[in-house]
Structure 1
Amino acid sequence: MPQERARLRRVCGFRRSTWFLILYVTFYCLYLILGAIIFASLESPIERKIVQNLTKFRKDFLSRNPCVSDEDLESLIVEVVAASNRGVSAVRNVSSEPNWSFGQSLFFSSTVVTTIGYGHVTPLSKGGKVFCMIYAMLGIPLTLVLLTALVERLMVPSTLFLQFLNSRLGHLYPPFNIRLLHLMLMATLLLILIFSLPAAAFAWLEPEWDYLDSLYYCFISLTTVGLGDYIPGDSPNQPYRPFYKVATTCYLIVGLTFTMLTLTIFYEIPQLNFGVLFLMRSDETTSDPEKVRLQTPGAIGPKYTQQRNDQIKGHKVETPTPEDTTPVHARP
């Protein structure tokens, strides 16, 4: 009878989590459409202006050089653009610095394994493309393991700081408010150390970047978007270019670690974890007989059940309540 009622519920309608998922997908699609509309309205006028200027420059060039035909100029432009798309610049001062020096190659390797992928430099040979796929397939999991291990270590002082706030403010504010204060303080520290100060350094080192360009580069890189429109160390006559590339690589690793730390602190606050709205309830996941058997008490075997009973016999089992917002790291 209970199985029949469950079957009727599945036939008659969706569960609440499914409706939440449908609403979220609808909102996500509208968000993408809104972004497309705003980007088109902001960028189209500038694009048209650049096209007009380029067309005028081309006509002026042909008028000043009558010996150069339009076809020859078009062929030159095609070759220059093709080389630029492969990371080879046609500018004299920049092309003197090879793209595959040690510093440049180390910077490229870091953008591959961190999934930033600027795209301004790409493998040119077939062997390089094959090696890049193998290198990324092994390097990306290794990077995730490294970042996870570093975040776990950094959660220890973060949790100690949360305990300090609880000891000083616990009698004045509820636990949720203290968790929010802890999150805001850690996020402010992230903004200062990982975004604001490095952006000021990039604005000072890069002659063609202002502070907004530098801050934009830091955000696009540490969110692993990696558009590739701003690359540090690629300006003409850049001094100490290899060292600059290595230092930028270290910055990306450290920045990604602190970004993941902030996200971890955010997700550990239950009231802010909206992902639970899309989780299916237990009655929605019991249609599989094997799952039903595994979820049935004692179905794993009497030996395991007896061991479990022996472990909890005579001891009080402490189950955290929904109101307990203390993170796992801070519980005694």
Structure 2
Amino acid sequence: MKTGFSCCCPSLIPSRETARFYLLFVLIALYMLAGAAVFSSLERQAELQAHQLWERRLKDFSQDHNISGEDLRCLLGHYEEARTAGIRAERGRALWDIPGAFYFVGTVVSTIGFGVTAPSTVTGKVLLVFYGLLGCSATILFFNLFLERVVALLSFLVCWCHRRRTGGDGLDGRAREANRNEEWKPSVYQVTLILFVAVLLVACGAASLYAAMEGWTYLESLYFCFVAFSTVGFGDFVSGQREYHEDSRVYQVANCLLMLLGVCCTYSLFNAISVIIKQGLNWILRTLAWMYSA
């Protein structure tokens, strides 16, 4: 019966690529629903408490300074508009001088997008669309080439270690090595492990620097490193924005280099993990096919 149905309606049976796409979509949706449930249970109560505290502070401030709540909310609305132009309650470094603008375009082309700086002019917003289109594309290409160089370096190291272990010399040995080069390429699991260690080392080193320069705790610095290096960019923590950082040229350069290195390594790690996920999806599809045919 199953065979007859398959022969009569071949178009209803999706290809392996299509089945993998649908399966991945379902798993991502379930993953997002589970994450939403977990984070809602963790953060919702804190959000409600923050709202209650804010309303109480507004009421107390209005009463203490004899200001109407409407006038106070109007002032706060103007301040929210001013934040778009870079105005902060605590004075920070200049946002649109050359170093500040360079930091901004770095967050654009790397797709981090902290949201601390954003163009306020119409011309700047229109230009950003085309600037980001080309810049993000070129940066993604750079990240892919970086991953290729990492894999090539690991392949060289694996082959070199194998030659040292086997001690292959002479023309015959070299010919055999040339024929077996393909067999000694690193597996995706080896690449993933090495990239994970690299990301961990860069993040730990960068967190030490940020904890010292930004006044954050080490845990907050590690959190910032993940948010920045993964290009999530919430904007709750942003490095290099304090006023005294404007004169710290060495720190500004180190910050940019750490961002670039961290994003490259993390993007490469994500690519390697995606290959493992793809292998897992193939295993699930083979298992489902075997169960269906049984």
TM-score over 0.5 for the alignment? yes
| Aligned equivalent of 2:125 | 129
Q: Distance in 2 between matches of 1:167 and 1:272?
A: 32
Matching residue's letter, 2:102: L
| Aligned equivalent of 1:321 | none
| Aligned equivalent of 1:187 | 196
Matching residue's letter, 1:54: W
- Match among 216, 221, 225 for residue 214 of structure 1: 221
Q: Once structures 1 and 2 are overlaid, which stretch shifts more, 19-28 or 175-184?
A: 175-184
- Match among 77, 101, 104 for residue 100 of structure 2: 104
Give the deviation of 1:19 after TM superposition: 4.2
2:32 is the counterpart of 1:32: yes
- Match among 164, 173, 198 for residue 206 of structure 2: 198
Give the deviation of 1:17 after TM superposition: 4.9
Partner SS state of residue 136, structure 2 = helix
Whose Rg is larger?
1
| Aligned equivalent of 2:61 | 61
* Contact 1:113–1:139, Cα closer than 8 Å, also in 2: yes
Change (3 A) 1:241 1:128: farther
Matching residue's letter, 1:78: G
* Contact 1:103–1:246, Cα closer than 8 Å, also in 2: no
**Identity score, percent:** 25
| Aligned equivalent of 2:177 | none
- Match among 160, 183, 199 for residue 156 of structure 2: 160
| Aligned equivalent of 2:87 | 89
| Aligned equivalent of 1:41 | 41
Change (3 A) 1:38 1:134: same
| Aligned equivalent of 1:248 | 255
Give the deviation of 1:122 after TM superposition: 0.5
Partner SS state of residue 91, structure 2 = helix
Matching residue's letter, 2:27: F
**More helix per residue:** 2
Give the deviation of 1:75 after TM superposition: 0.9
Change (3 A) 1:167 1:141: same
Gaps of 5+ in 2: 167-182, 286-294
Give the deviation of 1:59 after TM superposition: 1.7
Change (3 A) 1:53 1:211: same
- Spell out, residue by residue over 1:45-67, the C-alpha distance to the aligned partner (whole angstroms, 9 max, x if none): 1112211221221122122112x
Change (3 A) 1:43 1:169: farther
Change (3 A) 1:123 1:239: closer
Gaps of 5+ in 1: 280-332
Partner SS state of residue 93, structure 1 = coil
Q: Once structures 1 and 2 are overlaid, which stretch shifts more, 182-191 or 119-128?
A: 182-191
| Aligned equivalent of 2:175 | none
Give the deviation of 1:276 after TM superposition: 5.5
Q: Distance in 2 between matches of 1:29 and 1:70?
A: 43
Change (3 A) 1:122 1:186: closer
* Contact 1:103–1:243, Cα closer than 8 Å, also in 2: no
Q: Distance in 2 between matches of 1:190 and 1:252?
A: 11
How many residues are aligned here?
266
Change (3 A) 1:51 1:30: same
TM-score (norm 2): 0.76
TM-score (norm 1): 0.68
* Contact 1:106–1:246, Cα closer than 8 Å, also in 2: no
Matching residue's letter, 2:32: L
- Spell out, residue by residue over 1:118-169, the C-alpha distance to the aligned partner (whole angstroms, 9 max, x if none): 1121100011111111211221222223333333334332222233455678
Off by >6 Å, runs of 4+ in structure 1: 174-179
| Aligned equivalent of 2:238 | 231
Q: Distance in 1 between matches of 2:250 and 2:241?
A: 13
Change (3 A) 1:240 1:6: same
Change (3 A) 1:6 1:63: closer
Matching residue's letter, 1:188: V
Q: Distance in 2 between matches of 1:253 and 1:128?
A: 24
| Aligned equivalent of 2:8 | 8
Q: Distance in 2 between matches of 1:152 and 1:158?
A: 10
Q: Distance in 2 between matches of 1:150 and 1:176?
A: 17
